[in-house]
């Protein structure tokens, strides 16, 4: 593919009269070497078949956040496509599409303008083609439901019958977009385009890939991070019926752990063979991380001056030293696993020197770079198809499973699916870092913070990917705590990085999953110390952020009014300050995450120490909402996943290895523990830039719950997962 193409629209005839429309949007700005720029505008394909069915191919991975629906809606709205006849597909790795990474709640936000422009310019072409055919002014023609009509002469033509003529016209790179008042699809709830396939078991995930002659592989990876294969019993494994090959893999590019691969005719045969391997490990370079020791080290580090001073306003140290009373609290959070319900996997097939990979991946470009490096091949030798993802949450940003599949398939000389068991998946994740936060504050005579000092210690994500030791990670790691939006004339934040071998990664909402817990619990503690209502206290203190907020450029400056509006509305809907049924209490939290604003109120009770969450009320502001039903689902899912982490999840490291192997040890929230009701409302405005919704609700669940439990019991819980009794 010619990556430098600047043509905007390109049409080509396919067999059977179908038309394929290739659209290459000019890159928003020249690519710079480092740091990686946000994804440039993508390519996208619209295919119109002779039966007038339209297939919209979306350049982002579907992992449950609904992008195949919401991105297709953006195109279909402007295209005036018949939504019922629209099918969706996922674009495989395509050099013209820029970095196709899916993450950071950025898919709809980043593609909102470009995808609508694509739909609009195609609509203009189709109308122009019809107008020319009928020799009438284009302005007299209208498009609707994949048909162009000319009312005055009562003529109409289906898109499929116009596209050949349209292909000869010059597209308009700056078409007029429909005003919001004329939207038919956007802003109206739409059922997911994959929903029908899912409920009939037809949706295709990574593990559902089936190639002729496909073999199935499992890999016995080292229990201790950094260990290497010393020896193994290939004969015993090969003696298992169905086992074809057994060989060692080195750890290497793409962050693969290495181990011993067993290739067989079925998943089960591979598992049986694997059980016979008796691998001996060389543990010379293995890590010896211990999560309890790391948690302790993090707490101890909070007593010292932070290794990295991240920000400072005024002189908090002096003010605190002179204060009559200092309020201080430490918050502790463990490592977390992503635990996507579909474990990691990929399928690879070689033909000659060309490799085809099918992978449930969020970042196909990263996976391909890892493959190219590990196998010493060129990017153009790789075709990468993206299947549906059985959950992502940031785990599938790393492409280690795809690299493994490519290596195993090359050695096996056949198409191979590499499947991870649940134990593999929980023990070889890229974990949400362990973190400890300390807040110290003193209040003035009216109860408002005079000084707010934040210290944080933990195992930074960035150190997993940059081992030069040259970089500091504090500025990103303190996001949400060290740059909180509560007013304090004297404030500072500092970070101390702890060394650890365990791989770390981006876990849905990332830093705010621990930072917002600390910040939102502490502000509750300050309100209590000041003798003020937790809602009123927050509303009075929410202010512009006087220190740099990571990921916030001038287009997205923090707007305190939006934060206050979410908080006020959520509190009102939840009946804040009104009498509650006996034995119930409310807790609240609010935050900005990935540029979107959200506030959450939980209504809880404890019966026989058994927690019941009666209601969750969330109000979010992401500018405009494209698919209200999908957006609501993201909020619901974020709250439930946040509660899951608050109540049950923790990864334990002992002697450099993860202890938890399956769901009886790594405890995810179950249906009975979920809130009975979740109410979601959005505050919408087209006066601000649209932002994402995949993550912002999640970080609020733990602090809202801890605050509710405090209201109920008078006890402050400062460590996750929460333990009472």
Q: What residue has token string 């802003």?
A: 187
- CA 687 to chain centroid, in Å, comes to 26
Q: Which is nearer to other proteins, 11 or 388 (CB)?
A: 388
Find the DSSP H helices in 490-623.
512-530, 534-541, 560-574
First vs last Cα of the chain: how many Å apart?
A: 62
> Applying CB under 6 A, which of residues 341, 499, 557, 676 lies at the interface with ligand FES?
341
For residue 492, what are the contacts with CB-CB under 8 A and spacing of at least 6? 309, 310, 311, 312, 313, 316, 317, 453, 454
Q: What residue has token string 């596209």?
A: 163
Q: Shortest gap between Cβ of 647 and other proteins (angstroms)?
A: 13
CB atoms within 10 A of CB 532: 18
How much of the chain is in helix, strand and coil states, percent to nearest 5?
30, 25, 40
Q: Which is nearer to ligand FES, 64 or 480 (CB)?
A: 64
Q: How many residues bind other proteins (CB under 8 A)?
A: 64
Q: What residue has token string 């979601």?
A: 680
Closest by CA to 529, choosing from 446, 438, 456, is 446
> Applying CB under 8 A, which of residues 237, 262, 368, 389 lies at the interface with other proteins?
389
Question: Nearest to ligand FES by Cβ — which residue?
Answer: 341
Distances (CA, A) of 358 to 66, 83, 237, 425, 723: 20, 28, 27, 18, 42
Q: Which two tokens stand for residue 580?
A: 């509650």
> Applying CB under 6 A, which of residues 391, 399, 433, 474 lies at the interface with ligand FES?
391
Q: Which is nearer to ligand FES, 64 or 694 (CB)?
A: 64
Taking the C-alpha atoms of residue 642 and residue 616, their distance in angstroms, rounded to an integer, is 12
Binding status of residue 360 toward ligand FES by CB under 6 A: no
* From the list ligand FES, other proteins, none, partner contacted by residue 669 (C-beta under 5 to 8 A by kind): other proteins
Binding status of residue 64 toward ligand FES by CB under 6 A: yes
Q: Which is nearer to ligand FES, 227 or 426 (CB)?
A: 426
> Applying CB under 8 A, which of residues 1, 13, 151, 196 lies at the interface with other proteins?
196
Q: Shortest gap between Cβ of 20 and ligand FES (angstroms)?
A: 32
Burial classification of residue 344, based on how many CB atoms lie within 10 Å of its CB (0-12 exposed, 13-18 middle, 19 or more buried): buried
Taking the C-alpha atoms of residue 423 and residue 352, their distance in angstroms, rounded to an integer, is 34
Binding status of residue 610 toward other proteins by CB under 8 A: no
> Applying CB under 8 A, which of residues 203, 539, 540, 722 lies at the interface with other proteins?
203
Binding status of residue 393 toward other proteins by CB under 8 A: yes
Binding status of residue 105 toward other proteins by CB under 8 A: no
* From the list other proteins, ligand FES, none, partner contacted by residue 629 (C-beta under 5 to 8 A by kind): other proteins
Binding range to other proteins, per CB under 8 A, among 85-93, 336-344, 399-407, 554-562? 336-344
Q: Shortest gap between Cβ of 129 and other proteins (angstroms)?
A: 36
Buried residues in 62-72 as b, exposed as e (16+ CB within 10 A): bbbbbbbbbbb
Helix, strand, or coil (residue 464): helix
Q: Rule CB under 8 A: which of 503-562 touch other proteins?
A: none
Q: Shortest gap between Cβ of 391 and ligand FES (angstroms)?
A: 5
Q: Shortest gap between Cβ of 559 and other proteins (angstroms)?
A: 28
CB atoms within 10 A of CB 171: 20
Q: Is the bond into 144 cis (omega within 30 degrees of 0)?
A: no
> Applying CB under 8 A, which of residues 259, 343, 370, 699 lies at the interface with other proteins?
343
Radius of gyration for the chain, computed over Cα atoms and rounded to the nearest angstrom: 27
Q: Shortest gap between Cβ of 674 and ligand FES (angstroms)?
A: 12
Q: Which is nearer to ligand FES, 378 or 664 (CB)?
A: 664
On whether the CB atoms of residues 227 and 665 are closer than 8 A, the answer is no
Q: Shortest gap between Cβ of 515 and other proteins (angstroms)?
A: 21
> Applying CB under 8 A, which of residues 578, 582, 664, 715 lies at the interface with other proteins?
664
Q: Is the bond into 35 cis (omega within 30 degrees of 0)?
A: yes
Burial classification of residue 403, based on how many CB atoms lie within 10 Å of its CB (0-12 exposed, 13-18 middle, 19 or more buried): buried
Backbone angles phi, psi at 548, to 5 degrees: -60, 135
Q: Which is nearer to ligand FES, 205 or 556 (CB)?
A: 205
Binding range to other proteins, per CB under 8 A, among 155-163, 264-272, 309-317, 404-412? 264-272
Q: Which is nearer to other proteins, 208 or 479 (CB)?
A: 208
Binding range to other proteins, per CB under 8 A, among 83-91, 170-178, 478-486, 658-666? 658-666
Q: Which is nearer to ligand FES, 662 or 685 (CB)?
A: 662
Binding site for other proteins (CB under 8 A): 62-66, 189, 191-192, 194-196, 198-205, 207-208, 210, 216, 241, 266-268, 339-343, 388-393, 419, 421-422, 629-630, 633, 636-641, 644, 662-664, 668-672, 674-678
Binding site for ligand FES (CB under 6 A): 64, 341, 391
């Amino acid at each position: 593919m010619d990556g430098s193409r600047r043509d905007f629209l390109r049409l080509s005839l396919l067999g059977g009269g179908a038309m394929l429309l290739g659209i290459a949007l000019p890159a928003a700005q020249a690519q710079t070497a480092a740091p990686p720029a946000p994804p440039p505008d993508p390519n996208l394909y619209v295919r119109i078949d002779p039966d007038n069915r339209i297939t919209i191919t979306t350049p982002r991975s579907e992992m449950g956040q609904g992008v195949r629906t919401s991105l297709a809606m953006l195109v279909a709205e402007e295209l005036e496509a018949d939504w019922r006849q629209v099918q969706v597909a996922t674009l495989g790795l395509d050099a013209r599409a820029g970095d196709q990474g899916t993450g950071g709640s950025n898919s709809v936000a980043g593609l909102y303008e470009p995808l609508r422009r694509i739909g609009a310019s195609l609509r203009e072409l189709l109308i122009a083609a019809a107008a020319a055919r009928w020799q009438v002014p284009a302005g007299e023609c209208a498009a609707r439901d994949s048909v162009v009509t000319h009312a005055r002469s009562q003529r109409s033509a289906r898109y499929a019958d116009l596209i050949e003529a349209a292909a000869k016209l010059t597209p308009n790179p700056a078409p007029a977009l429909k005003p919001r008042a004329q939207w038919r699809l956007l802003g109206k709830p739409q059922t997911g385009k994959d929903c029908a396939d899912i409920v009939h078991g037809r949706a295709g995930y990574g593990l559902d890939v089936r190639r002729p002659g496909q073999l199935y592989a499992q890999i016995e990876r080292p229990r201790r991070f950094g260990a290497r294969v010393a020896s193994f019993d290939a004969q015993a494994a090969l003696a298992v019926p169905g086992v074809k090959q057994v060989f060692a893999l080195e750890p290497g590019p793409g962050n693969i752990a290495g181990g011993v691969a067993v290739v067989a005719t079925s998943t089960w045969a591979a598992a049986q063979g694997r059980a016979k391997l008796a691998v001996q490990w060389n543990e010379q370079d293995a890590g010896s991380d211990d999560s309890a020791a790391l948690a302790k080290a993090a707490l101890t580090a909070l007593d010292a001056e932070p290794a990295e001073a991240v920000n400072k306003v005024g002189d908090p140290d002096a003010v605190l030293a002179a204060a009559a009373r200092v309020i201080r609290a430490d918050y502790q959070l463990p490592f977390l696993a992503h635990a996507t319900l579909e474990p990691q996997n990929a399928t690879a097939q070689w033909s000659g020197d060309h490799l085809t990979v099918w992978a449930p991946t969020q970042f196909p470009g990263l996976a391909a770079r890892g493959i190219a490096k590990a196998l010493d091949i060129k990017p153009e030798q790789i075709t990468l198809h993206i299947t549906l993802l059985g959950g992502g949450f940031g785990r599938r940003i790393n492409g280690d499973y795809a690299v493994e599949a490519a290596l195993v398939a090359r050695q096996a000389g056949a198409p191979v699916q590499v499947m991870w068991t649940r134990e593999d998946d929980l023990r070889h994740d890229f974990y949400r870092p362990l973190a400890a936060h300390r807040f110290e504050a003193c209040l003035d005579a009216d109860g408002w913070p005079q000084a707010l000092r934040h210290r944080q210690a933990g195992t930074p994500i960035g150190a997993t990917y940059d081992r030069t030791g040259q970089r500091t990670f504090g500025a990103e790691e303190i996001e949400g705590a060290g740059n909180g939006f509560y007013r304090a004339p004297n404030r500072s934040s500092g970070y101390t990085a702890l060394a650890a071998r365990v791989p770390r990664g981006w876990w849905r909402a990332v830093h705010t999953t621990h930072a917002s817990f600390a910040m939102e619990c502490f502000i509750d503690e300050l309100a209590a110390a000041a003798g003020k209502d937790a809602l009123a206290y927050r509303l009075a203190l929410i202010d512009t952020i006087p220190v740099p907020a990571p990921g916030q450029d001038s287009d997205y400056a923090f707007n305190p009014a939006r934060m206050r509006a979410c908080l006020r509305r959520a509190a009102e809907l939840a009946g804040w300050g009104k009498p509650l049924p006996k034995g119930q209490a409310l807790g609240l939290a609010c935050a900005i995450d990935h540029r979107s604003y959200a506030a959450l109120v939980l209504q809880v009770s404890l019966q026989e120490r058994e927690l019941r969450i009666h209601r969750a009320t969330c109000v979010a502001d992401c500018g405009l909402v494209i698919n209200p039903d999908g957006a609501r689902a993201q909020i619901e899912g974020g709250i439930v996943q946040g509660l899951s982490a608050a109540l049950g999840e923790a990864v334990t490291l002992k002697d450099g290895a993860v202890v938890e192997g399956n769901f009886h040890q790594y405890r995810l929230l179950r249906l009975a523990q979920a809130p009975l009701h979740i109410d979601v409302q959005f505050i919408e405005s087209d006066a601000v830039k649209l932002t994402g919704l995949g993550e912002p609700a999640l970080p609020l669940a733990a602090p809202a719950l801890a605050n509710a439990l405090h209201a109920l019991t008078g006890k402050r819980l400062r460590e996750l997962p929460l333990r009472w009794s």
